[in-house]
Structure 1
């Protein structure tokens, strides 16, 4: 199994888990608001569907026809840079539940096929830096997992916590400097040591053991924090160094404007 196949398998499992949670909802369930301001369960699934479909277009942008389709999406983003994502989520979230699920099912099949068909070594265009198919699959996992947490909270369901979240932790660590720059702050110059305890009990580490800045604690809390699904005060994460602590107050594993995060509980 390739690295890409492994990420796709985890993405599929995470999507299957979310689909099972929403498949039997009645009308009230679909219109339940999630912790994401203004978004319902239906809007959330609509957003995941929209992003999957756009990622498929990005994967096909190397052909002339594919580039035209991708360029059309880029023009929409340029015309409405702060609202085009919400617009797509709201439009698709307004579909009848059966139609929404059927289209999401189709997109979830099409995306792995498109990623596997992408030429080796070639990167896909995106709204930020170009991405490899593996990076795109990892990003789709992160977003699916994070938005699934919103749905589970809205429906009062307990999410299954697995070691699949290592993909989220990896993105969270990789985007440390981005979080500072996105908040108009200088990126740290010190090395960081990250030690996270996985749901299975395994220890995941990044950076030198003697780094002057460090973060230690639960991988689940860290993943919730970097996707802004939990407030810093509600995590078990322990830091050494002022830059490490500052990072945890602004951490952002996703592209776009700095998010407002969640209120403490």
Structure 2
């Protein structure tokens, strides 16, 4: 079904993966010592970051193809709330122990297979929901979540390698996910979600080539609770790679300000977040 929302986000997911692949492949193929460079995530190297993406793709594929098996696995893993971090860390550790070339091949194969499975689900008639560690998602929603994670962990890797990537128009998927997870972010922090809709107006990065004054806008134009500012800052905030005080985001209304203090686009516990003025790991896995 060409031209669907799933087609668009799957194509962008493919490009996001290929961009990160091009960055790390030379390290893996040459057994470069930077493959084991420490990233801002405590105890995680570049290899751990790629292993985590490969492991999460495997979990997403299981959820897409066998929802019952995924639910059983997740329930067994999370019987003890303290086991959440161990469950995720163990998946990254096992992958990071593989030879670099083998891990790179595993990640490549996994993301291709997952994309095919999501494309197949999206083409079927009727609405399809895929279970996950947070709310269930449509195939397009799962592809968006995978793009968000690929970009987020790519940010950790670029910090470790001391390189900078130009933001792309693909960030619009991360921004949209950040808006859609507003209520989830409140709930995971033990807060009551606000009952009213918010207005979010984000300025795209200059590199994406949008016209003057163009905004990525969400929510009713007359909503009294408002968030505005750079799209890149908002995307970094919802993946918890920047502290609220280190952004140029503006909040109008107490509810909007509170949301920016807990904004989170990824499933799982929020983690400690970043300290003001600090570059480093914010707890998103």
Match of 1:6 in 2: 8
| 8 Å CA contact retained: 1:52, 1:107 | yes
Deviates more, 1:148-157 or 1:19-28: 19-28
C-alpha distance after superposition, 1:38-58 (max 9, x if no partner): 211100000000011111111
Structure 2, unaligned runs of 5 or more: 278-285
Q: The residue matched to 2:201 in structure 1 has which SS?
A: strand
| 8 Å CA contact retained: 2:199, 2:221 | yes
Shift of 1:34: 1.0
Structure 1, unaligned runs of 5 or more: none
CA distance in 1, matches of 2:159, 2:191: 32
1:30-41 alignment, distance < 5 Å: 30-41=35-46
User: Residue 44 and residue 4 in structure 1: after superposition, are their counterparts in 2 closer, same or farther (change >3 A)?
Assistant: same
TM-score normalised to structure 2 length = 0.86
1:250 equivalent among 241, 254, 262: 262
Deviates more, 1:177-186 or 1:132-141: 177-186
Query: Deviating runs (4+, > 3 A) in structure 1?
Result: 67-74, 76-82
CA distance in 2, matches of 1:146, 1:91: 21
Deviates more, 1:84-93 or 1:196-205: 196-205
2:235 equivalent among 223, 240, 254: 223
- 2:270 is the alignment partner of 1:261: no
CA distance in 2, matches of 1:191, 1:135: 20
1:23 equivalent among 16, 22, 25: 25
Match of 1:114 in 2: 117
Shift of 1:82: 3.5
Q: The residue matched to 1:30 in structure 2 has which SS?
A: helix
Deviates more, 1:196-205 or 1:75-84: 75-84
CA distance in 1, matches of 2:242, 2:66: 36
Match of 2:97 in 1: 94
Shift of 1:127: 2.2
Deviates more, 1:204-213 or 1:132-141: 204-213
- 2:180 is the alignment partner of 1:174: yes
Deviates more, 1:244-253 or 1:214-223: 244-253
